[in-house]
Amino acid sequence: MLDLLDTAKLTDPSPTREAAPDIPPVTQLPGEHRLSEGAPAAMLPSDRERTRTLPRPAPFTLKSKRTLRLIVVAALDLLAVTLTLQIVMVLGYPAMGGGPLHKIGFVGQFALVTTLVLWLNGLYRHSWRFTRLADCIHLVRLVGIALFVAWSVSVAAVPMRLPDLPLLVTIPILHAALLIVVMTGMRIARRQLREARRVQGGTAVVHAPPRAARKAIVLGPPEWASSVIELVRGDPSAGLDVVGALLSEEGDAIGRLSGVPVLGGPEMLASAVVGLEERGRAPACLILCDAAAGSTAAQRAKIVERARKLDLEICRFSSRLGELLKSGEAGASPLLSTARLLGRPEFLMATQIVDECIRGRRILVTGAGGTIGGELSRQLAAFGPAEITLLDHAEHDLYEIDSQMRQACPTLPIRQALCSIRERDAVRAVFEQARPEIVFHAAALKHVPLVEENPCAGVHTNVVGTRNIADAVCEFGARAMVQVSTDKAVNPVGVMGATKRVGEIYSQALDLCGVDDPDAPRFITVRFGNVLGSSGSVVPLFTRQIEHGGPLTVTHPDITRYFMTVREAVQLILQSSSHALKRDTMRGNIYVLDMGEPVRILDLAQQMIRLAGYEPEVDMDIRIVGLRPGEKLFEELFDSCEEQVESSIPGIFEARSRPIPLPLLNQAIRRMERLIAERDEEEIRRVLHNLVRIPSGQADARMPFGDFASLMADYARGHFTVHSSGGETQTALATVTAAPLGQATKEPVPESVFFPASPPVRHVPIYLVKSETTLASRWPSYDPDEIEAVRDILSSGRVNALVHGEHTRNFETSFARFTGARRAIAVNNGTAALELALRALGVGSGHEVIVPARSFFATTSCVVAVGAEPVFADVDPVSQTICPESVERMIGPRTKAIIAVHLNGWPCDIAALKELCDRHRLLLVEDCAQAHGAAVGGQRVGSFGHAAAFSFCTDKIISTAGEGGMVVTSDEDVFLRAWAYKDHGKSHAKVHDGKAGSAFRFIHDSFGSNLRLTEAQAAIGTIQLAKLPDRLARRRANAEMLNRLLQDHPMMSVPQPGADITHAWYKYNLQVRVDRLQARSSVAEIVAELRERGITCGPGSCPDMSKEAAFASREVKTDGDLPSATALGPTNLMLAVDHLFDERHIQAIGSHVREVVA
């Protein structure tokens, strides 16, 4: 019957479960053990399933149980009223008249009225099991009211002889006192019975370590200590018996607290322990309040230190319940603020564009059971897809996310796929059934040390698995694949990062296949840092270490990481992929979240210790354990071969990377598959790291890096077909389905070319210095991949595609990106590029164009070719480039433009020239023929003016087999005019309107010439452009070495560009002090002697173009006598420093120059 009085049991019909008190769990803190109270573990899914399926008797319903309880409770109170009334009547009311029936009627009526009043006043809504002082006070008040009503009604209703007035007052008071004692006693007895049963049952609510002793002392404020004593006393699962209390407040004024002796304040800890030991109650545990002994960490540390000296185990119990209730999102550590850790505002997603991409589409999520995959699935469901397929190889994880999704979205069609992405056929079967339109690829092995120790498994999942998913996307016509990557893929040093980098490269290669095909699937890569709360993240690791008492382990004192929340990561994935799909963004780019500043892990560890109420290195140690295999000291956002570009998405960057040809990638992956089968871990590491080094130029140079766009299109997605009409030649990518993606029929290049047996090294061609003649420049020299690219074009049979083909378009796109301009037009030579730029800008008859006196003659001839007149300005005596002061003196009423020549790779004073052009409303044309890759303040030449011209002839830094050129501009009108003129006046809009067919088309809106570059030249240019950064670095190193060798020579002055100048070092020009020459009288003699010794050299550019015979019959305007240009003529000595020279060559050249210039 007493079980019926337990109100907590009425909330759950199951007799095996009892609701826990409404107190949140308290986190266990560092170095010690934390007492906490929380609910018992939930029933496992399998248990729930068993409970649902096993037959059992019909349950006793909640309503009937409550009714029975109320009847029993009311009956007990009714009995108490009756018995107490009888006792009162016997003791003090003997004179009441009437027979036995009258007395029975009076007592019965009295008891019923009393019980009814108590019922109506809500007494029976209170549980006897949790009776407290406040409940007793409430009971006294209700009993008083009930007895007053009952006595009044009963005396008036039952005709009996009443006693004297004094007795009439005394008897009800006595009755009330007696009834209160009885009713309160019943309730207190029920509570004590509950506590006794809890002790016998051992309900696991308060946790302590198994080794904790039974005897304990509590130390803290009185209110807190009393609560803890009651909690520990009522929950023996803690294994603690509180034998004393030390109070941080009023320790001398209180003798006992909740039945426990008070032994003084915190300073009495040692004497209290000794006293208890003498009485045979030696404590082994100290239960400590977080705020005990004051608010400073130093005071708490002293208590902890004393306790440890006394061999007391420390159990901390937080008094800051409010802080715990205000902690962050579920699953996060209450010790850390997300914003505080990230050091930046959380990324917020614009949902409209995501909704447009996801709603009504079939979605597939790989790795759906993981942290990212699960959150992706949940957020995707909110946008109303037609169907979601959840793919994972882990049965339990897949079951969990499937159950969550079905419960949260009961109307959403959900398909589960228990499948490993390593198995190509299994992946294809899933795609065959689900036919997804958008695939989110989150499946990966991501734990750095594990993947480092198991490289075959890492490559199998992260490389082969990614290829299988991507290939299925192409085969089954999905619209897009969004790959989840990591910042560990940036400049990877370990296997995990390298495998993720290969996945990025593979997706990029496939994405670039659709450059000219709007229906081609998109392959989008999203890269971000560490995810808070994910498995393997440092925050859960530190939390576990704190709970176990430390120490916290940090791999290096200076290690840093970027952090983001799970929600942020998924929003980044959805936002960037939706923009890529809806806004038709540049293909091949990688999306990167702006994650603010990296967090120093040692600082994070110290912060978590302090927030837990401890002092680092005092209460808890931090141990430096050393970097793990494959782990980097710091993470980066952008790879060394990537360029950060502007993004239209706030808070998100885009990275533009150098791609790798798809045939090479497929050959490498197939080889790695064989190595996985052979379990050759060392070789698979070497192949993997060699592959990821190709874009940065750090792999063996024999690896082809050809015209990646056409190779990828040709091998992976289709072949070229030609539509010709009336002399017009157009190429289009025709999709073919004969062979699966990546299985080209063309004979592959031997793997020994891609993967030489020797370890990969930075390639610098070296010609041994056996004689003086080997010091001549060997540039231009064409690498095997460039020759192979030309051979492929000539043997392709695509005769009509030898111009205006995919190679040319790719070269133009890549070069525009490289320079920072919006548009580029490939032409057949640099002179044509200059002339085309002037024509497109409207320069012609009646105009004057200011040019430097010192340059190659094409700078002037192009002006005459368009009908304008050249005006010669002087040059700077140091850089030899056009002088802005001289230019300003030559500006006249007919001046239309200025040609700024970046001579020999040294950029001119472009800022001053731009200011002049802006002020006088002139056009600025950059002549960058000799300055590929040069820059001013980090901005590359070619991007400053209204248009720029580059040359690729003979020995230029990029050399496209004899001739070649490029016009770049960011002005769309200039681009369209130039594009039309270089190809007979064709309209760009009409050529690219997609209406190619068999009928003749009228597409010429103007007149022009034929300045087109061939496909073979474009293929060479594209390959050399990818190699340009490394080649420029070699040129720069050679020039700097020559400076060191020659700068102290009294007869020479070496070139010294300013700090904001990036010199391209097309040529190395130094000045010889001819007035001091002794053995030789001129630079000409020096040049002759050096050439005799086999050294490439010369006097440099034309000193004064105005003195050429071509101008003899023309009126020429010059800035006086052009003193600087005139002076440079006889003193300039030019040397070659191209990338084919190494240090030994430069050392020898420097020695010869010092010897000759004596």
End-to-end CA distance of the chain: 119
Quote the CA–CA distance of 802 and 796 in Å, as a whole number: 10
Rounded to whole angstroms, the maximal C-alpha distance in the chain is 156
Quote the CA–CA distance of 523 and 1021 in Å, as a whole number: 26
Quote the CA–CA distance of 1043 and 1037 in Å, as a whole number: 10
Quote the CA–CA distance of 814 and 818 in Å, as a whole number: 6
Lateral strand order in the sheet of 480-486: 414-418, 387-392, 362-366, 438-441, 480-486, 522-528, 589-593, 652-657, 642-645
Give strand ranges (E) for 698-845.
718-725, 728-735, 823-827
Q: List the beta bridge partners of residue 869.
A: 848
652 φ/ψ angles, rounded to the nearest 5 degrees: -130, 135
702 φ/ψ angles, rounded to the nearest 5 degrees: -70, -10
In sign, the C-alpha dihedral spanning 831, 834, 837, 839 is: negative
Rg (Cα) of the chain, in Å, rounded? 44
The two structure tokens encoding residue 127: 């549980």
Contact 377, 443 (CB under 8 A): no
Contacts of 64 (CB under 8 A, 6+ apart): none
Contacts of 1138 (CB under 8 A, 6+ apart): 777, 778, 779, 955, 957, 1031, 1034, 1035, 1038
Quote the CA–CA distance of 1099 and 882 in Å, as a whole number: 18
Contact 910, 920 (CB under 8 A): no
Opening angle at CA 46, ends 40 and 50, nearest 5: 100
In three state form, how does the secondary structure of 682-697 look? HHHHHHHHHHHCCCCC
Q: Identify which of 169, 123, 127 has the alpha carbon closest to the alpha carbon of residue 145.
A: 123
User: Residue 1072, by phi and psi: left (phi above 0), alpha (psi -120 to 50) or beta?
Assistant: beta
Contacts of 196 (CB under 8 A, 6+ apart): none
Q: How do beta strands 895-901 and 923-927 pair? A: parallel
Q: Would you say how long the chain is, in residues?
A: 1158
Name the H helices within 93-204.
100-120, 133-157, 165-201
Active site (annotated) includes residue 488: yes
Q: At what angle do helices 165-201 and 133-157 cross, to 10 degrees?
A: 140
The 10 Å Cβ neighbour count of residue 22 is 7
The 10 Å Cβ neighbour count of residue 519 is 8
Contact 980, 992 (CB under 8 A): no
The two structure tokens encoding residue 703: 């690896």
The 10 Å Cβ neighbour count of residue 83 is 15
Contacts of 225 (CB under 8 A, 6+ apart): 218, 219, 245, 247, 257, 258, 289
Q: List the beta bridge partners of residue 897.
A: 849, 923
Tokens 């020009």, located at residue: 1069
- List 488, 632, 896, 1067, catalytic entry: 488
The 10 Å Cβ neighbour count of residue 270 is 12
Q: Identify which of 1123, 1121, 1120 has the alpha carbon closest to the alpha carbon of residue 1131.
A: 1123
Catalytic residue numbers, as ranges: 488
